[in-house]
């Protein structure tokens, strides 16, 4: 029996509306909308399926370094170079500033490089070049807590799925693990030899991934704080790291490209022609990355055709062509048709005769539908 062809990724859209470097991307919880933040002082919304731009928010005073969707309400926030957290209501396009300018009570005093919501959408965390992390209560729009301990810029933050833990990555070369339900001191992870630029927590809340200027990615056990493994494959600083929702892949990105790793084995599976930033869709089948700096790339997961894949029968009865029994139920026939489309559509299958195969499949299915209608 032939082995199942490996899954790979194909760039389906390249988005070119931004006029300066794209620093951040995020996908909404439904997997329909992509948000991007740029040095051009805008935040844009895109249709993730078509790649068409939906809307652009103007009026920001400086570059945007991070964006995040609220998981429960139609809010999008950005962390900006001018120390501000800006919030947009996506239903009304109303804008609100969280922290205001430097000097405002509880405001960050320097650029904000990372923002992240708790899973209930009630709280927002922000990490800043002022070496602090702030926790904001969304319903009351106030800062409720400031986490101090880092001695240099906080580049990235991540919150566990249960909302109990916050991890932060800093230019002081450390990772700090903060308990959000108590005032205990953070636990400190040391292992990278350069800035720690990005952190992500796995969807089971048990594994932490960290990326660094030292060109490595490290995986840590969040319960024991033990280092599990170090992934080496990048040739330059790694600026972002993200887990796939299916818990099978880890994505990492820097200026030298995007890499996808097998979480179980640590094996490097794919290198893509993208760059930082990076985000997975909720179903794990779409990947968004930076392009050449001003562009954004949307990648789709697919199974490439193989030379050994058998071709279906191209002539004969419809059920022979669709590889089903003559007495198969309509639902079984539809499922078989869908499977064949996924395998032999010319956009996916690169074989020279893929177009002829697909034509035969479509004609066979049309004959099935004609026969099914004749029964009524």
**CA atoms within 13 Å, Cβ hemisphere of 98:** 32
Give, for 292, the enclosing helix (H) or strand (E). Answer: none
pLDDT tens digits along 241-254:
999 998 889 999 99
Count the Cβ atoms, other than its own, within 10 Å of residue 154. 28
Q: Mean of the pLDDT values across residues 210-235? A: 97
Predicted local confidence at residue 331, as pLDDT: 82
Domain borders along the chain are 8-302, 318-374
pLDDT tens digits along 325-371:
777 788 888 888 888 887 888 777 767 777 888 888 999 899 888 87
Predicted local confidence at residue 348, as pLDDT: 72
Nearest to 153 by CA among 167, 171, 135: 171
Q: How far apart are CA 167 and CA 184, in angstroms?
A: 14
Q: How far apart are CA 99 and CA 84, in angstroms?
A: 6
Give, for 69, the enclosing helix (H) or strand (E). Answer: strand 64-69
Tell me the CATH class for 8-302.
Answer: mainly beta
Predicted local confidence at residue 1, as pLDDT: 26
Quote the pTM value: 0.79
Tokens of 365: 């299915």
Q: How confident is residue 5, by pLDDT bands cut at 50, 70 and 90?
A: very low
Lowest mean pLDDT among 44-58, 120-134, 245-259, 355-369: 355-369
Q: How confident is residue 165, by pLDDT bands cut at 50, 70 and 90?
A: very high
Q: How confident is residue 277, by pLDDT bands cut at 50, 70 and 90?
A: very high
Tokens of 149: 């301990």
Torsion of CA 18, 52, 25, 95, to 10 degrees: 80
Tell me the CATH class for 318-374.
Answer: mainly alpha
Q: How confident is residue 6, by pLDDT bands cut at 50, 70 and 90?
A: low
DSSP labels for 213-233? TTSEEEEEETTT--EEEEEE-
């Amino acid at each position: 029996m032939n082995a199942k062809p490996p899954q790979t990724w194909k760039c389906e859209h390249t988005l070119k509306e931004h006029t300066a470097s794209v620093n951040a991307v995020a996908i909404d919880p439904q997997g329909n909308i992509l948000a991007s933040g740029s040095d051009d002082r805008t935040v844009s919304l895109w249709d993730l399926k078509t790649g068409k731009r939906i809307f652009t928010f103007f009026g920001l005073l400086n570059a945007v370094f991070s964006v995040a969707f609220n998981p429960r309400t139609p809010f999008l926030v950005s962390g900006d170079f001018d120390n501000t957290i800006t919030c947009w209501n996506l239903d009304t396009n109303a804008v609100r500033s969280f922290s205001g300018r430097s000097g405002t009570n509880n405001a960050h005093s320097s650029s904000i490089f990372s923002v992240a919501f708790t899973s209930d959408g009630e709280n927002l965390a922000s990490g800043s070049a002022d070496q602090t992390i702030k926790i904001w209560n969304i319903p009351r729009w106030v800062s409720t807590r400031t986490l101090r301990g880092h001695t240099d810029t906080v580049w990235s933050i991540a919150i566990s799925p249960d909302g109990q833990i916050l991890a932060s990555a800093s230019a002081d070369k450390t990772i700090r693990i903060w308990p959000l339900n108590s005032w205990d001191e953070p636990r400190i992870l040391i292992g990278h030899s350069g800035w720690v630029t990005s952190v992500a927590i796995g969807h089971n809340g048990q594994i932490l991934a960290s990326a660094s200027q030292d060109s490595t990615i490290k995986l840590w056990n969040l319960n024991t704080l033990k280092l599990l493994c170090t992934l080496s494959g990048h040739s330059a600083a790694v600026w972002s790291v993200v887990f796939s929702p299916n818990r099978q892949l880890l994505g990492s990105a820097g200026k030298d490209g995007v890499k996808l790793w097998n979480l179980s084995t640590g094996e490097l599976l794919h290198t893509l022609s993208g760059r930082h930033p990076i985000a997975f869709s909720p179903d794990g089948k779409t990947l968004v990355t930076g392009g050449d700096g001003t562009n954004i790339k949307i990648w789709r997961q697919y199974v490439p055709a193989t030379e050994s894949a058998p071709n279906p029968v191209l002539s004969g009865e419809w059920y022979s062509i669709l590889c089903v029994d003559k007495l198969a139920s309509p639902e079984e026939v539809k499922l078989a048709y869908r499977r064949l489309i996924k395998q032999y559509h010319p956009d996916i299958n690169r074989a020279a005769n893929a177009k002829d195969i697909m034509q035969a499949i479509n004609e066979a299915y049309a004959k099935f539908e004609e026969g099914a209608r004749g029964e009524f």
